[in-house]
Structure 1
Amino acid sequence: MEALFIFIIKSSALLVLFYCAYYFLLDKETFFNSNRWFLLAGLFTSLILPFVVFTKIVWIDPAPVSILNTNAISVLNKSQISFYRSAEIESFDINWSYILLAIYSIGFLTLLVKFAIDFYSLNSVLKDKKVQQQADFKFVDIKENIAPFPYFDYIVYNSSMFTASELENIIEHEKVHSDQNHTVDVLVLRIFCILFWFNPIIWMYKKAILQNLEFIADNEAAKKISDKKAYQYTLLKITTHESCVAITNHFYQSLIKKRIVMLNKNQSKKRNCWKYYTIIPVLIAFVLLFQIRTIAQEKERKDLKENTQNETPVYVLKIRKNTTDQELKEMAEKLKKDHNIDMVVSNVKRNTQNELTAIKVDINKETENAQSIEVEGDEAIKNCGIIVTTKDGLKNINLLTDGLIDEPATIRKRIAEISQTNGSNLLPASPVSPTPPALPAFPTGPMPQAPNADISKMPNPPIAPADRKDKVAMAKFEIEMAEFLKKMETFQPDMSAYEKQVEEIMSQREAAYEKEMAKYNLAMDKFSSDMDKLNIEMEQKYGKDSKIYETSMKQRNLEMRRLEINKRQHEKDVLLYERELQKIERQNNRF
């Protein structure tokens, strides 16, 4: 479940990167075909790159071997203990993962059903229609009041809705869509919208792709039409339509003003192609930050044999809930025989599963003070036991439990009490968890004001007369149209100085941000290495089954979750900054 959510987050982030690159750098360029492949590459990169994971191996020095058994958790010297078995606290937790998955599934299935309905509607339009084959195209003249659209090599239109010249312009436009297989782009885009329906960027991405496809068709169709102005009239005469087929390109899909502006815009200079390559360092940074898995491997211990010979001998007796009376007897005999320690077991109680629920163990040695472990309750006991260490010929006896008992407590009929007699607590200090580095913030600041930003002064296109056979009205309309186009030319500002200022500011901020990110990546590598060392050290020192190891791992996971929260907050801050830039751009260059 977690892997699915991580994939969705990474894919969404990649979509944001590609869309921002297109919106801020490429949207006003006339590289329409290159923009098409750039946007499609963004879709497939967001789907594939999250699965590409590189492995980085970090070699670490071997952790020192602990003299305690890996099952030893709590060691109290010369003490008398009555301890409790920690009870699990029953609580009701809402599993948000399943709730989010359910919400996602509802949206996914809803859009999938709508996709199927749209296909059915398309087949209904084409069913039993007369098809006229011309070259590589199949023309279908329908009677339904539906906007013209291409579907692979089919071009569908209603000839009764247009004049001969308008129909010619429309067919040239739709031929470009059909010839360049724009239907494939639309279908791929529709699939991504179903998969990432929750991400608002995918809907903005959809608008950008469909709009760019219209730019391609307009640009290619205008080359084949002798009267370029008449083609623009066709765009302006018919600006809306009541009905269209949802899964196809239709003739009225883009904003007419922007299409006219792009038709009259000069071709972009080839040197501006560098903007496509700006996405490469961003993708590299994404891979370095999120697609590299660090694995810690311990160096070979050359002096292991020598260290083993110098280690302090350790003897451990562990009492589990399923330990039998015979095994307890054998433990007592072995302690007496090997270490001259008296072990007396009493107050043994078992449940219906023959598990120990109560036990008292008294140990005594002539040179040591007496010690005892006593457990009593309604549930099976936790593991407990005895550690005997030998150093310089002297034996030291310690008791151990699977839980640290810091103060008296009562939980579920179990009483925990510590009564120190002699000696001190020999519990070794736990290694300190390393502190994760802080994520750098993307530099922010004011942006320059674009010229001619007052969109309210832009003229509105004239409305075509309802009766197109009215020559007087049509003549008046053409005069108004000529005036409109003339006024529109004054609203094409020289944005080169403004774009240069924005590019310089953004390049400076990106350079500063990349330096901070490089430092952060180095710090993260060190942090990951330190965490791996800590994990190995804790496992070797206390054992995977120990309470200290469990507590340490919880603390480690907490730190990692905090780090992940910081990353998400950082991504949110960057997204908010990008949205602010988009807002400024819309205010200054809205056509």
Structure 2
Amino acid sequence: MLYGLYIVTLHKETHFHLNRFYLLFSYIISLLIPLINIPVNNADKEATFFAVLETVQITSQSAFAIEKYAFINHYVIVFYLIGMSVFLMRFISEIISLIFIHRQCSIEANNQLNIALSKKQIAPFSFFKTIYIDKKTINEESQEKIIMHETIHVRQWHTIDVVFAELICVLNWFNPFCWKMKVALKETHEYLADLGVSEQTPEYAEYFMLLFRNAIGVQPGFANNLNKSLTLKRLIMMKKTRSSKLSKMKVLLAFPIVIVLFIAFSCNKNADKLKSQYSSNVISEKKETVNNTSNNDSKLSAKSNDDKTFISIEKMPEYPNGYNALIDYLSKNIQYPEEAKEKGIEGKVFVNFTVTKTGKIKNVTIKEKGNSLFDAEAIRVVSKMPNWIPGLNKGTPVDVEMTLPIVFKLS
């Protein structure tokens, strides 16, 4: 969204410093948004505790399904790591390439900068405080303009921008907008350097002929170089009438987008964490075999709505006769809807219910409504569950809101 706003409002404007700031701001905000959580005030709601039931697997087919999904999830992670490794190696290879270029250069100091004169043919570029030039093909007159161009890159610390963008792209190699933003950022750097040179050298034609003459050569991909994205639009941008100060106000459009993104990610953060903990509970036509693969002795966590922090409950609510009895109750009582079977429909239901201080079941609802047939069946069975043994916190019975994920799957 932030990159789209840039394309629509800013990339054709001549506010190059603002464009640079906006692109860097977009990178940083994109990293921060998933990490920020805006608490929702539930002060009016009586404090209850929240917990997700452990995994229930019914029928042998369900165990296979769980293993299948676990394999797919593992495959996705491996695929991501392979991709990241490839692009990380690419980044490292560019650093090694720069080291080789640097070693065969003779270094000269020039006004707090280093001028590296290469013995091999390279396209002029800069990296931090060093400017690399091919001393064989550049005469004194052109060298002055090239150094002028690259000095602007150095003085404005463009290398830091590019290295930062490269690392973001390594981590988000699968996201095309990260790469597009990196290209836009490098392009903006060139506009800034071209603008600086044009203010000191009004001969546009001569300056761009210089660019074309020195367009051939080797340089690391992450370095700032004279001829990056050498296109006609650079000349057009140099000759373009400067944008009005009022057009800078377009950047304010980013703030509503950032606020919406913050709220959207924050509101879904707890839900995403909850869903990541859900295990598939498969209710099939064949219920003779029950496979319970959960660890019933593991310590459960709960969440108190009054203070929004995870705490350990002294004793969680317990179904009469234990967890296996709960599995047995579900497998015997949940019926696959006939209409759904005839139509070959499968689905997933998240049932919320509260185990009160007295052990009664109340407030049976569907967290995320899906197929009405499955919703109705899940509510019917959960509502008829016998009283549970209530949960305890510091020796006192407490209300605990439970979530039971159920997957309806045809055998």
TM range (shorter): 0.5 to 0.7
State whether residues 125 and 150 of structure 2, in contact with CA within 8 Å, keep that contact through their aligned partners in structure 1.
yes
State whether residues 141 and 156 of structure 1, in contact with CA within 8 Å, keep that contact through their aligned partners in structure 2.
yes
Once residues 539 and 62 of structure 1 are traced to their aligned partners in structure 2, the CA distance between those partners, rounded to angstroms, is 25
Give matches, 1:130-279, under 5 Å: 130-238=106-214, 240-279=215-254
2:8 paired residue number: 24
TM-superposed CA distance for 1:544, in Å, is 8.9
| Cα shift readout 1:69-110 (whole Å, capped 9, x = no counterpart) | xxxxxxxxxxxxxxxx96554415142221111011011111
> Of residues 264, 289, 305 in structure 1, which corresponds to 2:264?
289
Comparing 129-138 with 89-98, greater Cα deviation is found at: 89-98
Give the aligned residue type for 1:247. F
> Of residues 42, 46, 55 in structure 1, which corresponds to 2:39?
55
> Of residues 553, 558, 564 in structure 1, which corresponds to 2:404?
553
TM-superposed CA distance for 1:25, in Å, is 0.6
Distance 1:266 1:241, change over 3 A: same
1:431 paired residue number: 364
1:405 paired residue number: 332
State whether residues 235 and 256 of structure 1, in contact with CA within 8 Å, keep that contact through their aligned partners in structure 2.
no
TM-superposed CA distance for 1:146, in Å, is 0.8
TM-superposed CA distance for 1:163, in Å, is 3.6
Query: Gaps spanning 5+ residues in structure 2: where?
Result: 49-56, 271-302, 308-317, 336-359, 371-378, 391-399
| Cα shift readout 1:527-565 (whole Å, capped 9, x = no counterpart) | xxxxxxx9xx979985499xxx9996215x99xxxxxxx
What SS does structure 2 have at the residue aligned with 1:147?
coil
Once residues 244 and 224 of structure 1 are traced to their aligned partners in structure 2, the CA distance between those partners, rounded to angstroms, is 26
Distance 1:401 1:124, change over 3 A: closer
Give the aligned residue type for 2:93. I
What SS does structure 2 have at the residue aligned with 1:58?
coil
Give matches, 1:293-332, under 5 Å: 297=305
The TM-score with structure 1 as length reference comes to 0.47
State whether residues 33 and 261 of structure 2, in contact with CA within 8 Å, keep that contact through their aligned partners in structure 1.
no
1:387 paired residue number: none
Once residues 128 and 306 of structure 2 are traced to their aligned partners in structure 1, the CA distance between those partners, rounded to angstroms, is 59
Once residues 320 and 152 of structure 1 are traced to their aligned partners in structure 2, the CA distance between those partners, rounded to angstroms, is 66
Once residues 325 and 81 of structure 2 are traced to their aligned partners in structure 1, the CA distance between those partners, rounded to angstroms, is 45
Distance 1:262 1:402, change over 3 A: same
Give the aligned residue type for 1:114. R
Once residues 194 and 317 of structure 1 are traced to their aligned partners in structure 2, the CA distance between those partners, rounded to angstroms, is 49
Larger Rg: 1
Distance 1:160 1:61, change over 3 A: closer
Once residues 7 and 196 of structure 2 are traced to their aligned partners in structure 1, the CA distance between those partners, rounded to angstroms, is 23
Give the aligned residue type for 1:402. Y
Once residues 384 and 149 of structure 2 are traced to their aligned partners in structure 1, the CA distance between those partners, rounded to angstroms, is 69
Once residues 52 and 429 of structure 1 are traced to their aligned partners in structure 2, the CA distance between those partners, rounded to angstroms, is 34
Once residues 136 and 550 of structure 1 are traced to their aligned partners in structure 2, the CA distance between those partners, rounded to angstroms, is 66
Report how many aligned residue pairs link the two structures: 310
TM-superposed CA distance for 1:435, in Å, is 6.2
TM-superposed CA distance for 1:210, in Å, is 0.6
What SS does structure 2 have at the residue aligned with 1:57?
coil
Once residues 166 and 262 of structure 1 are traced to their aligned partners in structure 2, the CA distance between those partners, rounded to angstroms, is 22
State whether residues 130 and 140 of structure 1, in contact with CA within 8 Å, keep that contact through their aligned partners in structure 2.
yes
Once residues 199 and 319 of structure 2 are traced to their aligned partners in structure 1, the CA distance between those partners, rounded to angstroms, is 90
TM-superposed CA distance for 1:262, in Å, is 0.4
TM-superposed CA distance for 1:160, in Å, is 2.2
The TM-score with structure 2 as length reference comes to 0.65
What SS does structure 2 have at the residue aligned with 1:140?
strand
What SS does structure 2 have at the residue aligned with 1:55?
coil
TM-superposed CA distance for 1:250, in Å, is 1.5
What SS does structure 1 have at the residue aligned with 2:180?
helix
Distance 1:401 1:50, change over 3 A: closer
Query: Gaps spanning 5+ residues in structure 1: where?
Result: 1-16, 65-84, 300-315, 322-381, 385-399, 409-426, 438-533, 559-591
Asked if 1:42 corresponds to 2:26, the answer is yes
2:346 paired residue number: none
Q: Percent same amino acid at aligned positions?
A: 22
Once residues 237 and 187 of structure 1 are traced to their aligned partners in structure 2, the CA distance between those partners, rounded to angstroms, is 27
2:282 paired residue number: none
Asked if 1:104 corresponds to 2:80, the answer is yes
TM-superposed CA distance for 1:34, in Å, is 1.2
TM-superposed CA distance for 1:255, in Å, is 3.3
Once residues 317 and 199 of structure 1 are traced to their aligned partners in structure 2, the CA distance between those partners, rounded to angstroms, is 46
TM-superposed CA distance for 1:130, in Å, is 2.3
| Cα shift readout 1:409-452 (whole Å, capped 9, x = no counterpart) | xxxxxxxxxxxxxxxxxx99983426669xxxxxxxxxxxxxxx
What SS does structure 2 have at the residue aligned with 1:255?
coil
Once residues 134 and 317 of structure 1 are traced to their aligned partners in structure 2, the CA distance between those partners, rounded to angstroms, is 79
Once residues 202 and 544 of structure 1 are traced to their aligned partners in structure 2, the CA distance between those partners, rounded to angstroms, is 52
1:456 paired residue number: none
What SS does structure 2 have at the residue aligned with 1:132?
strand
State whether residues 59 and 296 of structure 1, in contact with CA within 8 Å, keep that contact through their aligned partners in structure 2.
no
Once residues 226 and 319 of structure 1 are traced to their aligned partners in structure 2, the CA distance between those partners, rounded to angstroms, is 88
The alignment yields a C-alpha RMSD, in angstroms, of 4.0
Distance 1:55 1:233, change over 3 A: same
